[in-house]
A and B are shown apart, each in its own frame.
Chain A
Amino acid sequence: MRAQFVLSEIFIGLRRNLTMTVAVVVSAAVALGMLGVALLMLFQTSHMKDYWYNKVEVSVFMCTKDDATLHPATCANGQASQNQMNSLQSDLTANPLVQQVFPESQADAYARYQQQSAGSTSGTSMAQYVTPDQIPASLRVKLKNPSTENIDAMISSYQGQQGVETVSDQRTILQPLFKLFNGLTVSATTVAVVMVGLALMLIVNTVRLSAFSRRRETGIMRLVGASNFYIRLPFLMEGAVAGLGGVAVATLGVASFKFFLIDRVLAPNFTFTSFIGWDKVLVTVLILIPVGLLMAVGASALSLRKYLKV
């Protein structure tokens, strides 16, 4: 196999159809970029769902020592006692609406907070100053039927009890974010599907043009007994190079999505949850590379079967 010969054939081919090559790279980039964004959103959603979201609907936060001044009505004594937490837990367990109660101590909550902050850029600096006694212990409650009325009933009956700082509806806190991410996932996937179709058609056409403009060469190659692989390789590599070009541009897109939207816009505004880190961007790109290559080489192979008789 003469590498130099094959390489020169590839670049001659790409240059000859420069406008088509650009079109392929751009459409592949948009397709893969959208796919990347959808993947990032899926990672983010599962990242957020990981901990409590799937388990609980209502969280009862106990008082910490700082709440003596912040919430004097129910936390006059500062730090809630273990007795208060135990009695509240048995009360919740007996409640007919409740399916299960997960107690979380201050130490556990601190550990989880540190873990969540580790992945996010905005949380890191704050996490250094937070101490375990500043984080509230809590009782996480899973309801038998998590309807809005039931959640409201839970909040009104436990909000205001002694030792309870606040009762929150976990779903309403995260709901806007989940809606945003789901919306982004769906729209990015839709655009990705359309663009993948477009990119495939463009690649098929580009290879077809390329095969046509080189039919003299391929005709002679056939006659002198070049192997099918050797005849097809330059075309497949052309597709692969264009596909990789698309991956490169898509990587820029995905990275700027993480940098501008997640880090600059979302993370500062939704500080109570953590966001995916650059490791997930890397995973996304590592997924995009084979997808892009497969798409380009597959479409080229398909096109060659049809337009290049060997």
Chain B
Amino acid sequence: MIRFDKVTKTYPTQNRPALQNISLEIERGEFVFVIGSSGSGKSTFMRLILREERPSAGRVHVAGKDLAKLSNWKIPQLRRQIGTVFQDFRLLPNKTVEQNVAFALEVIGKSRPTIGKAVPEVLDLVGLGGKGGRFPNELSGGEQQRVAIARAFVNRPMVLIADEPTGNLDPETSVGIMKLLDRINRAGTTVVMVTHDQAIVNQMRKRVLELDSGNLVRDQSRGVYGYVR
């Protein structure tokens, strides 16, 4: 599903590469944690998958496509197959929950009947059935993150990328979000999650990729955080 071939990324203003000679493969349907301290290259890793950045050297393949060969006007097609969730939710405050989720479909030109059917379905899936008319500021942090996940998932992407989705949430709420992501993963979607949350990584026992200063220092299936300073 996602393959990195000796990928190096150097930003023009920096001498040290943000990622150095990374090779890895993430299979369809996997659940992968990406861990590492700040500046270890996690964000760059995500941005390369989304084709927000191009590698300085090496190849990135996502969903069977070589991103180096992907022309600019085809990038949106790629991004429709990747759902993205962030630590800060990034909901539109002047739209209701339903409108926030529908927005993702409207802007890729889906028809009204399709939207009318898909939005309530996905809201039920994330456990927000009946809260479609609320505005984001009327919801708890956990509920807002569920809306963000609903928006990322409503187009049924093949990959879901979550950038510290529990970073702003208390441990109990985080467990709920992880259960939701696990459910989405079990339904066949590949999930790549960047996190600092040791408890979650240790509890889930999924594959762990650890980055340190741009190097892939650990790739362990059923791993733990194991990150002691």
Within 8 A of B (CB), among A202-242: 216-217, 219-228, 230-231
Asked if B68 is at the interface (CB within 8 A of a chain A CB), the reply is no
B153–chain A nearest beta-carbon distance, Å: 11
Asked if A126 is at the interface (CB within 8 A of a chain B CB), the reply is no
Asked if A2 is at the interface (CB within 8 A of a chain B CB), the reply is yes
Asked if A5 is at the interface (CB within 8 A of a chain B CB), the reply is yes
The answer to whether B151 touches A225 (Cβ under 8 A) is no
The answer to whether A228 touches B73 (Cβ under 8 A) is yes
A163–B72 Cα distance when bound, in Å, is: 82
Within 8 A of A (CB), among B143-169: 151-152, 155
Residues of A within 8 A of B109 (CB): 1-2, 227, 230
The answer to whether B90 touches A226 (Cβ under 8 A) is no
A216–B86 Cα distance when bound, in Å, is: 13
The answer to whether B90 touches A225 (Cβ under 8 A) is no
Q: Among B75, B81, B104, B112, which residue has its beta carbon within 8 angstroms of that of A220? A: B104
A219–B103 Cα distance when bound, in Å, is: 12
Within 8 A of A (CB), among B86-113: 90, 92, 103-104, 106-109, 112
B40–chain A nearest beta-carbon distance, Å: 23
Residues of A within 8 A of B112 (CB): 2
The answer to whether A226 touches B108 (Cβ under 8 A) is yes
B216–chain A nearest beta-carbon distance, Å: 25
The answer to whether B84 touches A223 (Cβ under 8 A) is yes
The answer to whether B73 touches A216 (Cβ under 8 A) is no
The answer to whether A225 touches B76 (Cβ under 8 A) is yes
A154–B84 Cα distance when bound, in Å, is: 89
A217–B79 Cα distance when bound, in Å, is: 16
The answer to whether B108 touches A225 (Cβ under 8 A) is yes
Q: Among A5, A216, A224, A231, which residue has its beta carbon within 8 angstroms of that of B155? A: A224
Asked if B77 is at the interface (CB within 8 A of a chain A CB), the reply is yes
The answer to whether A224 touches B108 (Cβ under 8 A) is yes
A280–chain B nearest beta-carbon distance, Å: 44
Asked if B80 is at the interface (CB within 8 A of a chain A CB), the reply is yes
Within 8 A of A (CB), among B19-75: 50, 72-73, 75
Residues of A within 8 A of B81 (CB): 225
Within 8 A of A (CB), among B104-159: 104, 106-109, 112, 151-152, 155
Asked if B200 is at the interface (CB within 8 A of a chain A CB), the reply is no
A228–B171 Cα distance when bound, in Å, is: 39
The answer to whether B90 touches A216 (Cβ under 8 A) is yes
Residues of A within 8 A of B83 (CB): 224
Residues of B within 8 A of A221 (CB): 107
Q: Among B92, B104, B107, which residue has its beta carbon within 8 angstroms of that of A216? A: B92
The answer to whether B107 touches A226 (Cβ under 8 A) is yes
The answer to whether B79 touches A220 (Cβ under 8 A) is no
A230–chain B nearest beta-carbon distance, Å: 6
Q: A216-B90, A219-B90, A220-B90 are in contact. Are A227 and B106 (CB under 8 A)?
A: no
Residues of B within 8 A of A223 (CB): 50, 79, 84
Residues of B within 8 A of A228 (CB): 72-73, 76
Residues of B within 8 A of A231 (CB): 107
The answer to whether B73 touches A227 (Cβ under 8 A) is yes
Q: Among A1, A220, A222, A227, which residue has its beta carbon within 8 angstroms of that of B103? A: A220
Asked if B78 is at the interface (CB within 8 A of a chain A CB), the reply is yes
B60–chain A nearest beta-carbon distance, Å: 17
A5–B80 Cα distance when bound, in Å, is: 19
**From A2, which residue of chain B is reached at the shortest CB distance?**
B106
The answer to whether A224 touches B151 (Cβ under 8 A) is yes
Q: Among A216, A225, A230, which residue has its beta carbon within 8 angstroms of that of B79? A: A225
A168–chain B nearest beta-carbon distance, Å: 68
User: With contacts A216-B92, A220-B103 known, what are 19 further pairs, Cβ within 8 A?
Assistant: A216-B90, A220-B92, A220-B151, A223-B50, A223-B79, A223-B84, A224-B104, A224-B107, A224-B155, A225-B80, A226-B107, A227-B76, A227-B109, A228-B72, A228-B73, A230-B107, A230-B108, A230-B109, A231-B107
In order of increasing CB-CB distance, the 7 nearest A-B pairs are: A225-B80, A225-B79, A226-B107, A224-B104, A225-B76, A221-B107, A227-B76
Ordered by A's residue number, 15 sampled pairs between the chains whose C-beta atoms are within 8 Å are A1-B109, A216-B90, A219-B90, A220-B151, A223-B50, A223-B79, A224-B80, A225-B75, A225-B77, A225-B80, A225-B82, A226-B76, A226-B108, A227-B108, A230-B107
